[in-house]
Structure formats: structure tokens, C-alpha cells
Structure 1
Amino acid sequence: MSSTSAPSGRPRVTALDNQPTAEDVTAWAIAAGNGDDHAMALFVRATQTDVWRLCSYLGSHGAADDLTQETYLRAFRSLSSFAARSSATTWLLSIARRVCADHVRSRRRTWRLNHHDSANGLDRADTLSGDFTTYAALRDLVDHLEPDRKAAFVLTQMLGASYAEAAEVCRCPVGTIRSRIARAREDLVAAVDVDTRLDIPTRRRIRSSNSA
């Protein structure tokens, strides 16, 4: 599925009938910035899963819905000035990362004022309640990565962004992204060695991914 030019020069927006390309998403963002409500809906539909997942990891799982909503609110206010110097998805994930950074700073201020980070407590309770499944254990390990390393790891290893795209989102050189991912993998392997919640095959997969 692709977007072709309409007689007016604006992209013709078609139905989202298969996986859109980066060019499709960018065309929808441009059209949405020009007032096309249908393009706006397609833009959101094509990007909301990645935005939610990024917010879930960089912000908190319990606040992911609110952080995703805030990301789109900020994006909508800026769509008319979106210049397509990068793909719309990269641009949107950059906004999501800033939203999450604001959320984390706010949560830390709340902790300092109240001596109790209730948001973090709820997030951990939600993540670790019930049986310690492999998913919950792995998520908990990723959650405890250093923030810059976590951002690079989630963007490239979980959302499928290229190193160049991750560098643009994180506003750093590609070499820095490579270094952060390598350090994140080392941190995960070290954590796996002492985490009794993970079974042996899962530990082996994580170790082998670090040596690949």
C-alpha cells in the first residue's frame, strides 16, 4: 500500500490494508498537518503500537496510555510545522522520548516531596504480580537498565529502529548508540546470571545474543 499524488499535489491517502512503509507514514503526517483528518487517523493507527511500547519501557507500564496520549497531543500541535527532515515515525518517537523524560523527572520530584514513589510502586506491582513469568522477569531486567542504555536497547532491539534512527531519536552519534546497546547487553547478561526467575534456555539465549 502506498500514497500517490492527488491532482492537487497533496498525497492521496488510501486505506491501511497492509504494513505501511516509512514513506506512507510520513506522507500521512504531512497530509494531517494540512488538515486531512483521515490521514491523521491513519498516521495514529500506523504508529500507536510503537509509541505505546516505547512509553511503556521508558516511562512506566502503568502510565503508558497517558504518556502515549500526551505524545500525540504534542505531535498534533506541531504537525503543521513538520518538515519531514526525518521520517515521521522517528520524529514522533523523539517526542515520545521527551514525554517519558518529563514523566520520569516529575515522578522523581514527587518521590522527593512525598518520600514515596507510588507510581513506581504500582508499576513494579503490576509487572511482578502473580507468577514470575519469563516475560515479567525480562521486562523487569530491561526496566532496570540505565535510562540512556534502555532507550537505545528498546528502540533498536524491540521496536526495530535502525542505529541511525535511534541516534536521531536520542540526539547522539550512531557510535554512541552502538556503545549503549553493547553496554545494555552486558548489563542484561550480568543480571541474568543472578536472576533465579529465568529458566536455563532463556539465560542461554540472552548470553548468546550478547556474544553474537
Structure 2
Amino acid sequence: MISPALPAACDKTPSRARAHDQRTAADESITAWALAARGGDSEAVENFVRALHGDVRHYVTFLSADPQAADDLAQDTFLRALSSMHRFEGRSSARTWLLSIARRAVIDSYRYNAARPRLSHTEDWQTAAERAQPRGLPGFDDGIALTELLDMLPNERREAFVLTQLLGLPYAEAAEVSGCPIGTVRSRVARARSSLMRSLRDAERAGPVGAAAWRAPAPAL
């Protein structure tokens, strides 16, 4: 029996509160490392990259039109960030700042490749995305691939859901990354959750979502 439960942004349970506090503390440490890295602290640079590499790779994998290039996009993101670290002033968290850079890297890559033929193999894309997706989310433990369900969402809803529900960004920071009002992010997440719950109910009746539903996504510009 597949439960339709999804991560709830408004859940105020003690465990979620603890997770929020831990994320806040982690963000403070990461931001401190980013500020220290501005002065050439090599250990701070290493800590900064190690702490955020997973989030960046998850984000570009879900957002990119070519998830097979996720490692290259993640590397490009950090190269851009480190080269412009001197401009980071800590007005937002370093995580938010870096994901904004990652978004621009994906869009630049998409624009660069837009006029070129792309070879995308479903199996390769799904394998890369499956490696990147988190494990243990309620409702996704009976053969239902989260990446396949997310791929069915419109680009902007998928991005909002990934930023807030998978990467754990507050709505305000997700809005900053996406370049849209916070109310728009809330609406996109709500619609994404409704679509995912509907897909889970359909999958419960019909079986796992098939690979035939796959399509190559493009980031919302």
C-alpha cells in the first residue's frame, strides 16, 4: 500500500523543528566559511565546497535539460562561486547565494546547447537522477521513482518543490534563488504537491510510473 504522504512545509512536529534548527545552524557555519574563504582561507574553501556539493548536484540534476552533465554543471557552479567569492557579503545565506549561481549555470548551459542536437537516453538520465534523489521519503518506498514523478511537473513547479521540500530552503530563500515573489513559490509548491499526490494515487491503482512518460525537461527561464 503506497502512502500518499508528502513532506509538509507547514509541519510543526518536534522532529521537523529540530531539523529546521539543525539546517539553520549548518547554514550559519557554511556562510561563515564562505566569508572566511574571501580572505583566502583554504580550509574554509574546502569546508564550503564539501558542505554544499550534494545540494548543488541535486539541484542541477533536477533542473538541467541534460542531467548527464550534472557533475560538469556542479563544477562550473563552484568555479563561478570561488571566482566571485570576494563579492559575497553574507546578506543572504551562502547556500542561497550558491544555488542562485547554480541556476544561472544551468540556464547558461541550456542556452548554449539550445541550437545544438542533444542525445538523451532515458535509462542514463534515470540512472543519474536515481543516484541523486534522497531516500526514505514517505510515499516513495514501493517502486515509485520520485524523479519520474517530478519529471511530469511543469519546470517552475518542479524547481520550487526541489528547493523547498528536498533541499530544505525556506520559501523566502527559494524565491530569491528562483527570482520570483515568495507567494509564487508557495503556490508552485502547493500545486506540485497536489500533482504528486494525485500521481501517487494513480500509481497505487495502476503500478509504477513507466519510463515511457519521460521527457527531457528544460529550466524555466
TM-score, normalised by the number of residues in structure 2: 0.69
What amino acid does structure 1 have at the position aligned with 2:44?
A
CA RMSD of aligned residues (A): 2.7
- In structure 1, the residue matched to 2:127 is 126
- In structure 2, the residue matched to 1:5 is none
What amino acid does structure 2 have at the position aligned with 1:64?
A
- In structure 1, the residue matched to 2:91 is 85
- The answer to whether the Cα contact below 8 Å between 1:167 and 1:173 also exists between their aligned partners in 2 is yes
Aligned: 1:139 with 2:147: yes
Match of 2:40 among 27, 30, 35: 35
Structure 1 stretch displaced more, 140-149 or 174-183: 140-149
* Matched ranges for 1:54-93 at <5 A: 54-59=59-64, 60-93=66-99
Please list every run of at least 4 consecutive aligned residues from structure 1 whose deviation after the TM superposition is greater than 4 angstroms: 120-123, 133-136
What amino acid does structure 1 have at the position aligned with 2:95?
T
Distance in 2 of aligned mates of 1:158 and 1:54: 9
What amino acid does structure 2 have at the position aligned with 1:118?
L
Distance in 2 of aligned mates of 1:92 and 1:35: 18
- In structure 1, the residue matched to 2:166 is 158
- In structure 2, the residue matched to 1:182 is 190
Offset, 1:82: 0.8
- In structure 1, the residue matched to 2:212 is none
Match of 2:107 among 101, 108, 113: 101
- The answer to whether the Cα contact below 8 Å between 2:31 and 2:95 also exists between their aligned partners in 1 is yes
- In structure 2, the residue matched to 1:206 is none
Distance in 1 of aligned mates of 2:27 and 2:177: 15
Distance in 2 of aligned mates of 1:89 and 1:106: 26
Shift of the 108–122 alpha-carbon distance from structure 1 to 2, 3 Å rule, reads farther
Identity of aligned residues (%): 45
Offset, 1:190: 3.6
What amino acid does structure 2 have at the position aligned with 1:85?
R
Structure 1 stretch displaced more, 190-199 or 71-80: 190-199
Shift of the 127–65 alpha-carbon distance from structure 1 to 2, 3 Å rule, reads closer
Offset, 1:179: 0.4
Structure 1 stretch displaced more, 187-196 or 28-37: 187-196
Shift of the 79–177 alpha-carbon distance from structure 1 to 2, 3 Å rule, reads same
- In structure 2, the residue matched to 1:15 is none
Offset, 1:93: 0.8
Q: Secondary structure at the match of 2:89?
A: coil
Match of 1:50 among 55, 77, 80: 55
Offset, 1:194: 4.2
What amino acid does structure 2 have at the position aligned with 1:146?
P
Flag the structure with larger Rg. 1
Distance in 2 of aligned mates of 1:50 and 1:156: 12
